[in-house]
Structure formats: C-alpha cells, structure tokens
C-alpha cells in the first residue's frame, strides 16, 4: 500500500467502524455504524507492512506503551505512531504497535493495545476488515517511498536513460518546435542528495535537457511543478497524502523561493532559457491570494536578480478562480506571463457535451476569454496546458481532428503561445506524438506559435515509469549540429516570430512531444 491510500477499519466482532471523532484531537472509538470522513484514515508508509495513520483533520493515531488506548492527538508522526498491519487474503487485518502488543476492541468500544499474545483470524476482538476507499496518488513521493531508496534509484535511472532521448529533441526540431516546458520538483535544488524519499538525478537530467535544446535551437521554460508541502494536493505536486500544506507554512513558501533562486542563478545565463514558471496550478480553494501574490512578487524579483530578459510565468489558480485576478495583482509589467490551463475534462459541465457542444465552447467561451486577457494591457497570455481529449466516448477520428483544429485556432491567439500536455503517455490521446503520427491532431499551416511541455522524470508507478506528469528531462548531448533521421547533418532553418515585440526563433516545421501524464490535469 502506498502513501496517501485511504482506508477504513471495521471490527469483525461488532461490525462497527474505527472512528476519530471530529476528525481527530481526542480518543479513538469503535462505535460507528456508517463510515464517513471521521472513519477514513490516510496511510503514511514506513515500510511494506508499517504505517502511520492520519485522520481527516491531520492528526496521527498514537499509542504509547502496552495497554494504552489509541488516540488521535499527535500533530506529527514519530515512533509511537507507527503501526504494523498484518493482512490475510480476505481483506482482514491485525494491527499492532511496533513495540509489540496487538490492538483490540474492548469494553466501551475503545481501541486498546493490550491483546494477549498473537491473535488468530478467528479471534474477532483483534481482527478488522480493512477497506481501501481510495488509491489515487501515484506520484514521485509514492514511487520513491514505495520502491525504497535503492530500488527507486535503479528504476528512475533506467527510466531517465531510455524514455526521453536526444532523438526526441530531433523530432521536435524537425517539426518546428521552438520551446519545451520542463516541470521540476522542489527537491531538484538539493540534488544529488535530496531529502527522503526523493531520488537524485533531476539536476543532471535538466542540464541535459538544456544541452539538447540548445543543440536544436529550442528554448526551455522551467516550471516549478511541485512545491514543498504541495500547492494543490495532487500527485503531480508530490503530495504525500493529498493534503495541501504549502500555503499554511511560511517555511515552505520561503524554501520555495530558495528553489527559484537556485534555478534562476544556475540557468539565467544559459542561451536556451526562455523563462521560469514560479508555481504550477496552486489550488483556488486552499491557496489564498494574500499568500500567492506576495510569493509571485518575491519570485519575480528573484528571477530579475539574475536576468532582466527571462520571462517570469505565473500560473492561474485551479478551481473556482478567474485568471483576471492575476492581472489585477500588479506584480510587474515587464516580461510577465500568465499561464492558463484549458481542459474539456475534470468538470461535470463537460460530461454530457456532444462533439459540436465541445467545439462551440472552444470557439465561443475560450476564444472570448483569451481575447479579453490579450486586451487587458497586462501580462502576456500562455495556454500552458491543453490536450486533444474530452468526455465524448463515441468520437471518431474526424471528430478528434475537428476538436483539435478548433483548439489550435483559438489557442494560437494567446499572446505568448501554448503548450500541449503531454509528449508521451500510456493514454494515446494524451500522447502528442501518437496524435500526430496517427493523424488525430493536424497542426497544418496555422500553428505559428508553439510552446511544448516536455516531461521526463515524473512517472506513474502502475505503468512502471512509462508515464505521468511532473518533472521531465532528457539526456546528454555533445552534438554541434542537429541530425536528420538518416544521420546526415541538417542546417537549422529558422524563422522568427514576434511575441509582443520580442523576437523568438522558431524552426520551420511543426509538432511536439512530451512524456507522461496519466490522463490527469497537471
């Protein structure tokens, strides 16, 4: 079981659920007939059989010594909050303290650590049925902590050496790609020995990406995709258990600014750098503007310490938030970009839409929003993520072509360009390369401005590191000139485009690639 898995325990003897009343802060009882959030616990994995149990309000179950009653009062985990879980094939478990005693249900519906000896599966007082409620997190944290440091290091090394190679940059160059958006996690600043459980190698991979990009006249955007504590509770921000701790911790915010300083100081003078995105997808419901705007302002100034020309990109909050709020925040007027993410998914609004409905929505609603923001006399507009996928289950190839054409025509109007999510994926319509090769997405002659996401390091555990959205990078390159597929050297054919007075070289072809993305917004 991985970090963040949500579980419930029901006593076999009483058929009552283990409950942390009010979500924690007091004792634990076994007295609920129906399970809800108080009866749901998030796992923090210590080993394959050892876990800490976190309540819905962030407390940890604890028991200090033989015979104690279990409480949900610990604010942070320690050895006294580690439980050993034994499972059989019938979803039944025994739970014990790592110091020895097994838990059982006793008089008064209490949960105590005083079962005498080792219970059998017919010993009802110490036997519980465990139900897995959710197992939705399969990010960097789950991968590294699930495999363990040694094995995770080998798995990631193999993945990084093979999933994205220099050939992918050749592919991008030959089709006219001008920029890759490369998401990274905060632990990159501590490479090669990042904090547990994260695995080193990110920085070398990012360096290689810059080398490859430079060889093929491609620019790079570094996107801070995962902040300490998580800015949105999603797997692609490396949340351990789905909680969002970043906005409530000044220490996390300060550490994030240190990461921006590290990235800006390292890459500001690199000829392949186009910009730095300060934070991907902060949560609208959990990250208040009074936290986000000062962070964006400080992050902007940090980048400006090292570069007067690099674009600073600020991402809209995801959820119920209007990106115009960032135009009103008065962050800066020089080389500032607002990143919008457009998906016709992840909202019940799109569920019953037909092909025509989806296309009309793009042409009317999204086109109007982009036009309004382009005219707002503020930051440039960047459609930083979109995908040629939707909720239409009976769509034909022609339907996909029409939907993709509509998105390209509208998103081309964004003053800073757009980026497709993602390059490579186990779900074919999220895989840009598959879409192009199989003629489901037709770039045509209208795509004059393109910025593409390029993922290399975040992976999905269940696909053994062949997909997933977040950190992404390539390998090493010493090539002085790009090569065609036949091995012959090519002379780069470059034509400039102008983005609000700034000339950016763009190779004269068209297409993208990206790794990862599990069919989730990221």
The tens digit of pLDDT for each residue in 278-317 reads 999 999 999 999 999 999 999 999 999 999 999 999 999 9
What mean pLDDT comes out for the span 445-455?
Answer: 47
- Each residue of 382-424: pLDDT tens digit? 999 999 999 998 999 999 999 999 999 999 999 999 999 988 8
CB 374 within 8 A of CB 410: no
Q: Could you tell me which of 174, 166, 176 has the C-alpha nearest to residue 450?
A: 176
The pLDDT of residue 230 is 97
Contacts of residues 61-67 at CB distance under 8 Å and 24 or more positions apart, as own/partner, are 61/20, 61/28, 63/97, 63/103, 63/113, 65/99, 65/113, 66/97, 66/99, 66/100, 66/101, 66/113, 66/114, 67/101, 67/112, 67/113, 67/114
The pLDDT of residue 162 is 85
- Each residue of 66-81: pLDDT tens digit? 778 999 999 988 877 8
Per-residue three-class SS string for 407-429? HHHHHCCCCCEECCCCCCCCCHH
Q: Could you tell me which of 364, 402, 362 has the C-alpha nearest to residue 386?
A: 362
Within 412-482, residue ranges assigned H as helices are 432-437
Report the distance separating Cα 343 and Cα 352, nearest Å.
15
Structure tokens belonging to residue 213: 């990009």
The pLDDT of residue 49 is 94
How much of the chain, in percent, has pLDDT values that exceed 90?
70
How much of the chain, in percent, has pLDDT values that exceed 70?
84
Report the distance separating Cα 303 and Cα 5, nearest Å.
38
Instruction: Return mean pLDDT, the chain.
Output: 84
The β-bridge relationship of strands 71-74 and 83-87 is: unpaired
Q: Does residue 509 register a pLDDT over 70?
A: no
What is the CA angle 459-465-470, rounded to 5? 15
What are the backbone dihedrals phi and psi of residue 135, each rounded to the nearest 5 degrees, phi first? -140, 65
179: β partners: 219
- Each residue of 103-129: pLDDT tens digit? 999 988 999 999 988 999 987 899 999
Between these two residues, 393 and 508, which has the higher pLDDT value?
393
Q: For the chain, report the end-to-end CA distance as a whole number of angstroms.
A: 23
What mean pLDDT comes out for the span 181-205?
Answer: 95
- Each residue of 156-177: pLDDT tens digit? 999 988 888 898 898 888 877 7
The pLDDT of residue 133 is 96
| DSSP codes, 131-172 | EEEE----SHHHHHHHH-HHHHHHHHHHHHHHSS-HHHHHHH
Residue 507: alpha-carbon gap to chain centroid: 29
Q: Does residue 468 register a pLDDT over 80?
A: no
The pLDDT of residue 485 is 30
Report DSSP state, residue 459: -
The pLDDT of residue 453 is 54
Q: Residue 185's CB: how many other CB atoms inside 10 A?
A: 25
The pLDDT of residue 98 is 84
The pLDDT of residue 458 is 28
Q: Which residue's entry shows tokens 């003053």?
A: 415
The pLDDT of residue 107 is 82
Q: Does residue 259 register a pLDDT over 50?
A: yes
- Residue 451's pLDDT band, with cuts at 50, 70 and 90, is low
What mean pLDDT comes out for the span 476-486?
Answer: 29
The pLDDT of residue 513 is 25
- The mean-pLDDT minimum among 18-22, 54-58, 61-65, 124-128 falls in 61-65
The pLDDT of residue 486 is 32
Report the distance separating Cα 423 and Cα 416, nearest Å.
20
Q: Does residue 478 register a pLDDT over 50?
A: no
What is the CA angle 15-19-25, rounded to 5? 165
> Of 100-109, 226-235, 423-432, 500-509, where does the model show the most confidence?
226-235
């Amino acid at each position: 079981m991985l970090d963040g898995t949500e579980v419930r325990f029901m006593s076999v003897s009483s058929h009552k659920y283990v409950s942390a009343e009010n979500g924690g802060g007091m004792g634990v009882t076994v007295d609920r007939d129906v399970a809800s959030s108080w009866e749901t616990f998030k796992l923090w994995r210590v080993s394959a059989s050892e876990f800490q149990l976190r309540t819905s309000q962030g407390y940890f179950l604890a028991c200090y010594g033989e015979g104690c009653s279990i409480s949900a009062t610990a604010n942070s985990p320690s050895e006294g909050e580690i439980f050993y879980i034994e499972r059989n094939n019938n979803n039944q478990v025994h739970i014990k303290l790592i110091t020895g005693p097994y838990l059982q249900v006793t008089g008064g519906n209490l949960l105590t650590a005083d079962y005498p000896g080792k219970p059998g599966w017919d010993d009802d007082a110490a036997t519980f049925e465990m139900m897995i409620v959710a197992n939705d997190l399969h990010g960097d944290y789950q991968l590294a902590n699930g495999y363990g440091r040694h094995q995770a290091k080998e798995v990631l090394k193999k993945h990084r050496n093979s999933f994205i190679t220099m050939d992918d940059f050749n592919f991008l160059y030959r089709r006219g790609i001008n920029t890759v958006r490369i998401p990274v996690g905060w632990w990159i600043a501590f490479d090669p020995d990042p904090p547990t459980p994260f695995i080193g190698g990110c920085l070398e991979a990012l360096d290689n990406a810059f080398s490859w990009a430079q060889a093929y006249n491609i620019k790079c955007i570094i996107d801070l995709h995962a902040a300490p504590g998580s800015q949105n509770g999603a797997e692609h921000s490396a949340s351990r258990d789905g909680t969002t701790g970043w906005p409530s911790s000044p220490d996390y915010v300060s550490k994030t600014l240190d990461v921006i300083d590290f990235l800006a100081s390292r890459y500001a003078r690199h000829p392949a750098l186009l910009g730095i995105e300060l934070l991907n997808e902060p949560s609208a419901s959990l990250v208040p503007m009074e936290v986000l705007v000062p962070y964006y302002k400080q992050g902007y100034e940090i980048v400006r310490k090292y570069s007067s020309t690099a674009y600073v990109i600020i991402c809209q909050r995801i959820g119920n938030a209007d990106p115009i709020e960032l135009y009103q925040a008065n962050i800066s007027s020089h080389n500032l970009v607002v990143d919008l993410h457009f998906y016709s998914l992840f909202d019940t609004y799109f569920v019953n839409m037909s092909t025509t409905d989806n296309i009309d929505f793009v042409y009317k609603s999204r086109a109007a929003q982009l036009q309004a923001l382009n005219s707002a006399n503020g930051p440039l507009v960047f459609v930083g993520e979109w995908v040629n996928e939707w909720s239409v289950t009976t769509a034909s190839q022609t339907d996909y072509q029409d939907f993709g054409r509509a998105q390209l025509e509208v998103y081309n109007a964004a003053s800073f360009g757009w980026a497709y999510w993602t390059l490579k994926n186990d779900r074919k319509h999220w895989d840009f390369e598959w879409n192009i090769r199989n003629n489901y997405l037709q770039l045509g002659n209208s795509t004059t401005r393109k910025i593409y996401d390029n993922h290399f390091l975040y992976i999905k555990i269940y696909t053994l590191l062949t997909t997933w959205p977040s950190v992404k990078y390539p390998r090493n390159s010493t090539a002085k000139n790009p090569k065609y597929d036949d091995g012959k050297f090519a002379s780069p054919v470059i034509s400039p485009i102008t983005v609000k007075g700034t000339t950016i070289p763009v190779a004269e072809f068209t297409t993208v690639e990206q790794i990862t993305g599990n069919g989730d917004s990221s």
